[in-house]
Structure 1
Amino acid sequence: MWLAVVYQRPGVFREWITMHRLRCLACVAILVLGGTFAPAAWPQPADFSIAQVLDYAYPSGLVATRDGKRIAWVINLRGARNVWVASAPAFVPRQLTRFDKDDGQEITQLTFSPSGDTLVFVRGGDHDANWPAEGDLAPDPAASPEQPKVNLWAVALPEGTPVEITEGDAPAISVQGRLAYIKKDQVWTASLSGKGKAKPTRLFFDRGKDRSLRWSPDGRRLAFVSDRGDHSFIGIYADAHTPLLYLAPSTGLDDMPRWSPDGKRIAFVRQPGDGGPPKPILEQTPQPWSIWVADAAGGQGHALWQSPDTLEGSYPQTAGEANLDWVAGGRLIFLADLDGWPHLYSIGVDGGAPLLLTPGKFMVEHVALSPDRRSVIYDANTGSTANDQDRRHLFTVPVDRAEPVAVTHGEDLQWQPVAAGGQGVAFIDAGAKRPPMVALVGTDGRGQRLLQADLLPKDFPTAQLVVPKAVTFTAADGQLIHGQLFQRDDGRAAKPGIIFVHGGPPRQMLLGWHYMDYYSNSYAVNQYLASRGFVVLSVNYRLGIGYGHAFHYYPPHWGPTGAAEYQDVVAGAHFLQKTAGVDPKRLGIWGGSYGGYLTALALARDSDLFKAGVDMHGIHDWSRLIDPWFGKAASRYEKGDREQALKVAWQSSPDADMAHWTSPVLLIQGDDDRNVHFLQMVDVVQRLHKHNVPFDQLVLPDEIHGFLRHRSWLQADQATVDFLASKLLGGQP
C-alpha cells in the first residue's frame, strides 16, 4: 500500500509500502555486508529494546453490523492475526479465531451478514498491492513448502467455530444469506457453512474483470463493476435466466455502485474513460467526475452532479475516495475537495446544489453512517486542542445540515469510527505513548473506555517514551511544512539528528501512534531512536494529506516532474541543525517507499548534509515508470511532452546524482514487492558498486512491500537502528 503514485487511470490515485540481534537465516533474510556495518556500540544502556516497543496488539479492520449491535476487528499480535468480536450491550471482547503463527497471512475484509449472525473474512493475500504477482500467487513470506492461497472463512455467531469455505476474495452477503465473492476476476457463490454437496460455482459469466459486489436490499439482485480496461460498466445480475443489465453504458469509467434503500435505483461514480490527446505529464490538469443515478429495472440513467472543471474538483484521493452512499431523506452523501479541503457533502436525489456538511480548514477521512442513516460519523484532523491538525478526532453531523458535533477531543487520537449500540461509537484510540486499542464512547462524548487494555504487555515501555512536539519550518520556496520532533530531555548535548520521511506519499504523520500499521511501526522506531541518543524529526512534506488540496494534490514539480518536495526535506534538516541539543554535523535520514526514494535522493544530492541513511524499498529511477504509467512510446503517434517528461523524471531520480553520492546507506526490501519493483534495488546496488559508495543490503526473500511477518519488521528495524548508530553515534556520549 505504499509508494508511490500510480497513473492507472485519470483521477485515480493508487499507491505503488533472537529478536535483539540480526542473524542471517536461510529462506528468511539475507544480510549482505559491504564491510562497513557492524552491530552498534551504543554509548548508553538501553531503557528498552526494539522488540519491546514493537510488542503490542495492533487492531485494524473494525466493522459493525447494520444495527450496531455487534462489532468485529482484527488483532495482529507478534505476527499472529486473529478476529475478535464484541456484542451489545456490554461489548465484552471475544476471540473468534486461534491462528498462532507469524506466517504472514493477513486477515482482511471482515463482512457481517445483514442479520448480523454470520461473519465472513478473507485470510491471505496482499490487499495493498499495486499489481498481482506473476501467476496471481498469494504471498509466502514464511517460505512455506505448501503454497498459500487467499481463502474465505465464515463464523456463525454468537458461538460458532470458524470454517474455511473456499478459495476466494471480496465477499458480499445478501439478506437471504447468499454469499457472492470474487475468484480470478469473476463472481462466484458458495455455501456460507462450507458444508453440503453443493460446490462453489461461478455465479455468471461477464467479459470484464468483476469487482465491487453489492446485493440489492431484497437480496435478489447483485450489482457489480465490470472493468473493461479503458472503460467500465455497472452491471446487475438477477438470475441464471436473465441477461445481465448494464446501467447507462458509456465510454466512461463507472465505479462504486450503491443501491437505494427501496432497491429501485443505483447511484454510482463516473470518470472519463481513457483516451483523447496525451495529457501533459509535467503539468497537472483537472480530473473530472460525476455522480449518476440509474433505474435498476431498465438501466436508464442520468447525471445527478458534475464536478467543476478545476483541480479542486478532481476526483478525491483520500480514504474511501468519493465515499458515495444513500442516506435518509432521499439524499446522497459524498466526499469532495471543492473548497480546497476533503469534506462531506449531501445532495438531494432530485438534484440541486450540494450542501457542504463539514466546513472548515481540515480534512475528513474515515466515514461511517449511523444505523438510521440520518447522520454521519467521521474522523478529522481538527478539534479544540492545540495542534489538532496533526491528530484525528471523531465527529457526527446530520446528513441534511451543516451542524457537526465533536464526539472526542484532547491529546489522544481516534479514528475509523463505526456505530455501536443504540447511541454509541466504536473506534480505535491511541496516544503519544500508548499504542492503538479498540474503544467505545457515547455519541454525546461520555463513557469512553478501552476494550483490550489487558493485551498490552506489562513490560511495554510506556513511561520511557517521549511525547513528540509539533513544529513548523519553511521550505526554500516559502511553503510552510509541519513535522513532529522526538527529543528526550536528558541533559545530553550534541546528539545526532535523524530525518524521517514517510511513504505514500498521501500520508500524514501524527502526534501519536498511527492508524496504519506500517507507520505505527515507524513511530515505534522513531521512539526507540529518541531513547538511544538521537533527535528525530518526522517531516510531513508536500504531497502528504492533512494540509489542504493544494498541498496534497500533485503540487507543481512534484516527484518525477521535479522532486519539489525534496526541498521540504532539506528545510527539515536545516531546522534540525538549529535545534538545541543537536550536533549539526551528524545528520542521518531514513524512510520507506516514497520515503525510501527521498532518503536515496538526499544521500545522492547532499551527502555533505546527510551522513548516512536507511532506504527501505525506495524508487531510484523514475524514468523506468513512464512506460508502465503512460504506455510505450511506440503505441501511438502523438507523444505530448513525453520526451521532456522522461528527461525530467531521470533528473528527479537518485540515480541521476550517483556521482555525488558518498554517504553510506543500508538498503532493505522484500523481493516479492508488489508496489515497488525489486529491480529498483537490484539496479541501485550495481550503481553503488560502480561508484564505490559504501552500502549494506538486507533482502527479505518472499516478503512484500509492507512486510507481513513480525519477524521481518524486527529484522528490518533492528538493522535500521544499528546501522544509524554505527554511522552517527560514533561512541559519542
Structure 2
Amino acid sequence: MKLHPAWLASALLVLSVAAVPALGGQSATRDGQPADALASNLALPFASDLTGARRAPVFAWIEDVAGARNVWVGGPDIPAHPRTAYSGDEGIELSEPQLSQNGRRLLFVRGGDAEFPEGGAPNTGIALETPEQALFVADVAGSQAPVKIGPGHGAAFSPDGARVAYTRKGEIWLWGDAAAARRLATVAGSVEDLQWSPDGRQLLFTEQRKGHSFVSLLDVEQRSLRYIGPTLGQSSDPTFSPDARQVAFLQFRGPPADLPDSSASFWSVRIADLASGAVRTIWSAPGGEGGQFAGTRGRNLFWTASGHLLFPWERTGWMHIYAMPAATGGTPRDLTPDANEVETFTPTPDGKGIVYAANAGNLDTRQLWRTAIEGGKPAQLTQDDAFVFRPVFGGDRLAATATDAQRPAHMVLVDGMKPLGAVAIAPSYSKPETIVFTATDGMQVHGQLFRGKGPGPHPALIFVHGGPRRQMLPAFNPMHYYSNAYVRNQQFAALGYTVLSVNYRGGTNYGRAFREAPETGRGGASEYRDVLAGGQWLAKQPDVDAKRIGIWGGSWGGYLTALALARDSDLFAAGADFHGVHTLVRPGDASLSPDAEVKARELQWQSSPMGSIDRWKSPVLIVHGDDDKNVDHDQSLLLARELTARGVPFEELSLPNERHEFFRYGDWLASYLATEAFFARTLKAGK
C-alpha cells in the first residue's frame, strides 16, 4: 500500500500552518486555538553543540526551532541571543561552533553534513542548487552579518584569535583578517581534530586513512609536515604538552574477527618529543578487562597544566577516568571509582581536577561531578530533578546541556542551574516510569514506560533506539534524533498507546559486559531477546490489549523492528521501520578461513530480517531518505521488493534527498504523522 494522496495533502497543511511554540510553557496557537500537539512539541527549540571560550566566560551553541537553525551566544554577563538570522525549514545544517580564546570571535559551519563533512553535500531542501558547506566568522559582540571564509570545516582559531586554520578535501587552509585564505598543505587522508600549538606556530591533527590513522604536525612558518610515531593501527586524540615541546596520543587496534573477545593488550598511551622525534610508550593497557580500547562520547586524552595525562579505561568493566603523571608514567589512578559509567569529561581550567557526566548511583540518570586529580571524594554538582550532559568551561565558569521530562535540551550555567536563555516546555508531559525486566537468558533490561492515557485496555508499542550504542532516558534526549522520538512516544501515550522504550543489550551506560554482550547483531542478534522480552512483558500487563502490540524504531531500531515482524508476527501486530538494516550479510574478513567465512555469512543471514522473511505476516510502514549515508536506501528497496513478492501489506514513505537523521523538520513531522496514521489503522482498529 502507498500513502494516500489525501493524507499527504493533510500532512502538508499541518506543516504550513503549525506555529512555532512560545517559550516558558505557553502552548503554540493557530488562529487563536491550540496547535497540533505533535507539530508544536516537535518545533520546541532544541539546543546542541555547546562550546566555551578558553579564557572568558562566553559560550556559543546551536539552536534548532522547527528546522530553522541559528548560532546563539551568551554567558553570565551576556544575555543569550542569536548571532545569526537564518529562517525557514531549509534543511541546511549548522555545526562546529567555535570561540576564540578571548571569547570575542565566533566560527561556525553552514551546509554539508557534520557527520560526513568530506562527503557530498546534501540538498535535503531540494533547492535548485545544492547548498555548499562553508565556514563563517563573526564578532561575538557585533551585529554585522557573519563573514564567509570559504568552503571548509574543522576550523580552529589561533591562540591570539587572528588566524583560522581549517580543512577541506584533504587540504589544510589558513585564513586571516589581513589576507585571503591560502592552502598550507595537501595530505593523502582526511584531516580531523585540527588544533594549534600553544605558541601558535604549529598545527597538530589526525590524518585518517584507509583502515589506519596517523598523528601529523604541520609547521605553519616553515611549511613543513611530518608524521609522529606512525603505527599499524589507529592513532587518535593527539594533545600538546603545556610547553608545546611534546605530543601525547592514543594508539590502538581492534581484535580480529575470529578472536573478538581476545584478552590481549590492544592499546597504549604514547609521547613524542618534538625536538628529537623520539616516541615512547608511557603506558600500555594490561591484557584482560579493558585491554580493548573504548572511548567516551567526547575527547579521550588531555594533558593538563598540572602535568597529568587523563584518559578513559574500562579496567573495572565500567568507563572510568584515570590520571597518570606525564613525566614518569606508572600505574594510572582511577579518579571516578564510584561513577558507574562516565559519558564525557573535561579538565578544570587550573588543571587540578576534572568535571564529568556520569550515572553514579542510578544507571538511568545523568549528573555532573567534580573531583581533584590528586585525590578526594567526588562532589556532585547537579541534582536529580534534571538530566545534565557534556560539561564545558568558558573561562572559569562551567556550563552544560540540561533536559528533563518536560524541557528539551537547553544550556545552563551549572552553578545554580541558571539557564543561559529562555527554556521551552511541554507542560502536558509526565515523566516516564523506569522499569527493569528480564530476558529469557537472564539479562536484566532497563526501559521507560509511557502509560497510555484514558481507559484501557490500551494498544501498545515497543520503541527500539538505534546505534546500537545508545541509552534512552526518562526525559528529553540531548541528541536531536531521540529528542524527536521522545516527543513521538509522549504523543503516542496521549493518544492512548502504552509505549515501552527498551534499552537492549549492546547499548551504553550499563557497563562493558552489557555493551559488548556476546552474539549481538550479525553474530546472532542476541539483543532481540530483550526486545521480545519487552513485548512479552507488555502483553502481560492488565491494561494492555495483547493482540494490539506494535513496534517502531529507526536505524538499528529499524533493524530490530523488521526482525520482530519477521520472527514474531503473532506478537507484534504492526511495525514502523525507519531506515532499518534488513540484511546483515557483509564481505568476509581477511582473518577468517574460507570455511569460517561461509559459517559467518550464514550466521549473518540468520541474524537478519531477510533470514526469517517467509514468516513475516504483520503490516509495516517503511520510511527512508534516499540520500542516507548511514544505512543505504537499498536496504529498504530490498525489503519492499521481498514483501511485495510475499503479499505482506506495507506502506512506504521515501524522502527524496533526505539523510539518515532527517535535516528538515517537515520530514520529521510527515514521517511521524504517517506513523500515527498507520498505527491508528493497524492497531487502534485491530489487526
Q: TM-score, normalised by structure 2?
A: 0.91
Corresponding residue for 1:475? 439
Report the equivalent of 1:450.
419
Q: How does 1:339-378 map to 2 (within 5 A)?
A: 339-349=316-326, 350-360=328-338, 362-378=340-356
Structure 1: where are the runs of 5+ without partners? 1-19, 30-45
Q: State the alpha-carbon separation in 1 of the partners of residues 394 and 71 from structure 2.
A: 17
Specify which of 132, 150, 153 is matched with residue 169 of structure 1.
153
Tell me, what secondary structure is at the counterpart of 2:317? coil
Task: State the match for 1:390 in structure 2.
Answer: 364
SS across alignment from 2:602? helix
Q: Which of the residues 76, 84, 93 maps onto 2:64?
A: 76
Aligned residue type for 1:110: P
Task: Please state whether the residue corresponding to 1:435 is helix, strand or coil.
Answer: coil
Partner of 2:192: 211
Q: Distance in 1 between matches of 2:582 and 2:259?
A: 19
Residues in 2 aligned to 1:402 and 1:312: alpha-carbon distance in whole angstroms: 24
Equivalent position of 2:399 in the other structure? 426
Which residue is 2:18 aligned to?
A: none
Identify the match of residue 288 of structure 1 among 266, 286, 303: 266
Q: Partners in 2 of 1:330 and 1:254 — Cα distance?
A: 21
Task: Tell me the CA shift for residue 144 of structure 1.
Answer: 0.6
* Range moving further from structure 2, 529-538 or 67-76: 67-76
1:111 and 1:172 in contact (8 A); partners too? yes
CA distance in 2, matches of 1:493, 1:252: 57
Q: For 1:657-683, what per-residue CA distance to the aligned partner results, in whole angstroms no more than 9, with x for missing partners?
A: 111000000000100000001110011
For each residue in 1:291-318, what CA deviation from the matched residue of structure 2 results, as whole angstroms up to 9, or x when unmatched? Answer: 1011122221101111122353211143
Match of 1:558 among 497, 507, 520: 520
Q: Does 1:116 align with 2:89?
A: no
* Residue-by-residue CA offset, 1:99-122 (whole Å, 9 max, x unaligned): 002111111111112232211111
Letter of the aligned partner of 1:203 in structure 2?
A: L
Specify the code of the residue in structure 1 equivalent to 2:618. Answer: S
Secondary structure of 2:309 counterpart: strand
Structure-to-structure mapping, 1:508-587, within 5 angstroms: 508-553=471-516, 555-587=517-549
SS in structure 1 of the partner of residue 610 of structure 2: helix
Correspondent of 2:652 among 697, 721, 726:
697
1:25 deviates by: 9.7
- What code does the residue aligned with 1:493 have? G
Any conservation in 2 of the 1:214–1:257 contact (CA below 8 Å)?
A: no
Alignment equivalent of 2:283, drawn from 297, 305, 323:
305
**Bigger mean CA offset, 598-607 vs 356-365:** 356-365
- Alignment RMSD (CA, Å): 2.4
- 2:141 is matched with which residue? 158
2:615 maps to 1:660: yes
Task: Give the direction of change, closer, same or farther, for the CA distance of 1:216–1:639 in structure 2 (3 Å limit).
Answer: farther
Structure 2 Cα separation of the partners of residues 286 and 103 of structure 1: 49
Q: What is the identity, as a one-letter code, of the residue corresponding to 1:100?
A: S
490, 498, 509: which one pairs with 2:461?
498
Specify the SS of the correspondent of 2:613.
helix
Q: Shift of the alpha carbon at 1:160? A: 4.8
Where do 1:322-333 residues align within 5 Å?
A: 323-333=300-310
CA contact (8 A) 1:231 1:273 kept: no
CA distance in 2 between counterparts of 1:649 and 1:317 reads 27
* Letter matched to residue 412 of structure 2: A
Q: 1:402 to 1:569 in 2, by over 3 A?
A: farther
Which amino acid letter does the alignment assign opposite residue 558 of structure 1?
T
Structure 1 counterpart of 2:513, one-letter code: A
Give 1:252 deviation, angstroms.
3.3
| Aligned counterparts of 1:257 and 1:331: Cα–Cα separation in 2 | 14
What does the per-residue CA deviation read over 1:263-319, in whole Å, with 9 as the maximum and x for residues that have no partner?
A: 111000112489xxx531776666711110111222211011111223532111431
Change (3 A) 1:122 1:611: same
| Cα deviations by residue, 1:581-631 (Å, 9 ceiling, x for unpaired) | 1111110000000000000000000000000000000000000x335xx47
CA distance in 1, matches of 2:643, 2:260: 29
CA contact 2:237–2:250 (8 Å) conserved in 1: yes
How far apart, in 1, do the equivalents of 2:498 and 2:648 lie?
Answer: 26
Contact 1:335 1:342 in 2 (8 A): yes
Q: What is the letter of the counterpart of residue 170 of structure 2?
A: D
Task: Using the aligned pairs only, state the percent identity.
Answer: 38
Q: Residue 260 of structure 1: which of 228, 241, 244 is its match?
A: 241
2:125 maps to 142
Hey, what does 2:47 align to over in structure 1?
59
d(CA) in 2 for partners of 1:626, 1:185? 28
The answer to whether the 8 Å contact 2:296/2:312 transfers is no
Unaligned runs of 5+ in 2: 1-5, 16-33
Q: In terms of mean alpha carbon deviation, does 536-545 or 326-335 score higher?
A: 326-335
Structure 1 residue 642 displacement after superposition: 1.8
- 8 Å contact from structure 1 (residues 488, 531) kept in 2: yes
Letter in 2 for 1:138: A
CA positional deviation for 1:481: 0.4
Q: Is contact 1:666-1:697 (8 Å) kept?
A: yes
SS in 1 for 2:414: strand
Q: Which amino acid aligns with 1:23?
A: A
